Amino acid sequence: MDMKLVFQGAPVAVVSVELVECDDSACASGKPQQVGPQRIACDVTRCTSRAYGYSTYQKLIITFADRTRASNVFTKRAFYASYTITVTDTALQVEEDMLAAFGNFALVGGTQGNVFLPSVLLTIIVETLVAGAYLLISHQPRRVLLWVPVVNLITVPVVWLLVRSPVLTDSTGFKLLGAEVGAVLIEALLLRLFSRNALSLRHALTVSVLMNVMSFMAGYLLAFVGL
C-alpha cells in the first residue's frame, strides 16, 4: 500500500501508526498488522505498508502530535494499491485510487514500477547461481545453465504482470502463491525443453523449486531491510 496524506489544515507530525486487519465490514474484531517484513510506516506526507497478504477490510489509526485519528474501514483491490488519506481535525478518510494503481502497475516508471528491471536482474543472478550449484552437485549437464537467464526473461514478466495487475484482486496472497507455483512448473518444463531433455523431469522440477524459493527469499530479504 502507498498512501498520500492530505491535510485539510496545517500538517502535523506523525508519532505512530497502526494498520488494523479486519474480517468484517464494521472492523469490530480487528487486530494489528503483524511484525517482521509486514510493516507500515508514515511520515508527514505519506504512509507505506508491506505484507504477505491483507485481510478483506482494513482500518488505519495514526497518532499525530496533537491527537489520535482513526479512519473509515476500507478495502484493497490492487496488488500495489494507492490511497489518498484526507486528514481532518478529528478523523482520517481513506480512499483507494485505482488510476494511481494502474500507474504503479507500469513495467518501467511509476511509484512501484521502477523496481521491475532490478527484480529481473536479481532473479537472474540468484537463480543462475542456485542452478549452477545444483547442476554441479548433482552432476547434471552444465550447458543447462545457459538456459536459466532465458527462462527467467520469459517467466518473470508474466509473474510480474499477473501478481501486480490492479484488475485481478487479491487480499489473501493466493494470487502470489498461484503465480509462483505456475512459475516453478513452467520453468521446469522450459529447462527440459530447451536442454533437449538433457535434464530429467525430476531434476528440472527440483532445480526450478530451488531457484524460485531462493529468489523469492532474496526479494523479501531486500524488502525487509528496506531496499
Residue 148 has pLDDT above 80, yes or no: yes
> If you search the block for the grid coordinates 538433457, which residue do you land on?
198
- By CB atoms closer than 10 A (0-12, 13-18, 19+), residue 33 is buried
Per-position b or e across 45-72, b if 16+ CB within 10 A of its CB: eebebbbeebbebbbbbbebeeeebebe
pLDDT in the model for residue 112 = 44
The predicted-structure confidence for 126-136, as pLDDT tens digits, reads as follows 999 999 999 99
For position 68, what pLDDT does the model report? 96
Cα–Cα distance for residue pair 135/4, rounded to 1 Å: 47
Output the pLDDT for position 35: 54
Cα separations (Å) of 111 from 79, 107, 223?
Answer: 13, 11, 15
- The domains located in the chain, with CATH, are 2-103 (2.60.40), 106-224 (no CATH)
Across the range 156-160, mean pLDDT stands at: 81
Mean pLDDT of 219-227: 63
Greater pLDDT, 154 or 179:
154
* Cβ–Cβ < 8 Å for 211, 148: yes
DSSP state of 119: H
Cβ atoms within 10 Å of 178's Cβ, excluding its own: 14
pTM: 0.54
Residue 12 above 90 pLDDT? yes
Residue 110 has pLDDT above 50, yes or no: no
Q: How far apart are CA 112 and CA 107, in angstroms?
A: 9
- Render pLDDT for 16-29 as a digit per residue (tens, 0 to 9): 999 998 888 888 87
C-alpha–C-alpha distance, residues 120 and 107, integer Å: 11
Least confident range from 90-94, 132-136, 221-225: namely 221-225
